[in-house]
């Protein structure tokens, strides 16, 4: 469903992403981990068409993000690390504006999805307030609603739970699992390794732009002869 092959991105002379390849299947949450500056956001920006990669190929549900950007973009939702939001719109107006982009979906389905996302993320009461008045966590939640509104088959989540309170973080995790269980392929970045350990079906560890290792937690434990060792310990062993 998401296929990244030999992705390379240079910023001038800096190689931020170097020959990165991975696949995420429907129903799978893939934890994309790495230190600050490892290249996670750059990879996601290349996957979502925000950056033109130096080389390599990204296919989303079989559509090449560079050659078929419009159709590829209909097939994913994206929660950026630092989302841009329209301060002068209410949360509901913003979601209605996002809905209008998805002309391939029925208005009824989008409205029902909006209703249940606002409820699940406990944002109903604030839906008619201006986004300019939202707290950091509320902004994150409205961004999540916007990304999941059209029930996309591929979901990119760049540190989506940062700033969420415990109840909202739990609601967000449940939503990610629900979407995966319904067949979405989810790419998830976080620095909270305990969260990755609990939520992700497979893990990929990136360092200095290179994907060092990937697998299930059990596979990583096996590979590093570290039975019962936490993901945090394995991560530190690999990346330090
Ligand atoms: N616009 C840019 N111009 C030049 N270099 C950049 C730019 N954006 C990122 N970089 C560099 O590319 C590398 C990868 O950055 P990236 O933001 O992809 O890392 P990251 O893994 O998402 O980090 P973090 O966990 O801190 O968000 C870093 O060395 C960073 O300084």
Interface ipTM > 0.95 = yes
Over 80: is that where the pLDDT of 227 sits?
no
Domains of the chain: 2-83+153-239 (3.40.50.300)
Which is it for the CA torsion 36, 41, 46, 47, positive or negative? positive
Atom 1 (ligand 1) nearest CA: 11
- Provide the whole-model pTM: 0.95
Mutate to test the pocket of ligand 1, among 11, 17, 35 (most ligand atoms within 8 A of CB): 11
Ligand 1 touching residue 82 (CB < 6 A): no
Helices (H) and strands (E) in the chain, counts: 9, 10
Q: DSSP label at 130? A: B
Over 80: is that where the pLDDT of 226 sits?
no
Over 80: is that where the pLDDT of 103 sits?
no
- Supply φ then ψ for residue 35, to 5 degrees: -60, 170
Strand-pairing partners, residue 7, are: 20
Ligand 1 touching residue 42 (CB < 6 A): yes
Distances (CA, A) of 93 to 89, 111, 127, 130: 6, 12, 8, 9
- Supply φ then ψ for residue 13, to 5 degrees: -85, -10
Residues 126-178 pLDDT 10s? 999 999 999 999 999 999 999 999 999 999 999 999 989 999 999 999 999 99
Ligand 1 touching residue 77 (CB < 6 A): no
Q: Tell the residue number behind the tokens 């790419």, with chain if given.
A: 187
């Amino acid at each position: 469903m998401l296929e990244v092959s030999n992705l390379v991105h240079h910023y001038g002379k800096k190689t931020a992403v170097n020959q990165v390849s991975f696949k995420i299947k429907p129903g799978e949450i893939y934890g994309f981990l790495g230190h600050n500056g490892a290249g996670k956001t750059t990879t996601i920006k290349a996957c979502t068409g925000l950056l033109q990669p130096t080389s390599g190929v990204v296919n989303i549900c079989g559509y090449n993000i560079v050659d078929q950007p419009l159709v590829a973009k209909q097939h994913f939702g994206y929660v950026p690390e630092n989302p841009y939001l329209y301060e002068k719109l209410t949360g509901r107006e913003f979601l209605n504006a996002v809905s209008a982009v998805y002309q391939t979906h029925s208005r009824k389905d989008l409205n029902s999805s909006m209703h249940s996302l606002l409820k699940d993320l406990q944002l109903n009461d604030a839906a008619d307030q201006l986004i300019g008045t939202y707290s950091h966590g509320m902004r994150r939640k409205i961004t999540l609603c916007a990304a999941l509104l059209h029930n996309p088959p591929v979901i990119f989540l760049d540190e989506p739970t940062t700033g969420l309170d415990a109840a909202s973080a739990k609601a967000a995790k449940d939503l990610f699992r629900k979407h995966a269980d319904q067949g979405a392929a989810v790419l998830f970045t976080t620095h909270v390794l305990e969260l990755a350990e609990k939520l992700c079906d497979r893990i990929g560890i990136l360092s200095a732009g290179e994907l060092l290792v990937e697998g299930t937690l059990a596979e990583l434990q096996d590979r590093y002869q570290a039975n019962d060792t936490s993901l945090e310990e394995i991560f530190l062993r690999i990346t330090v």
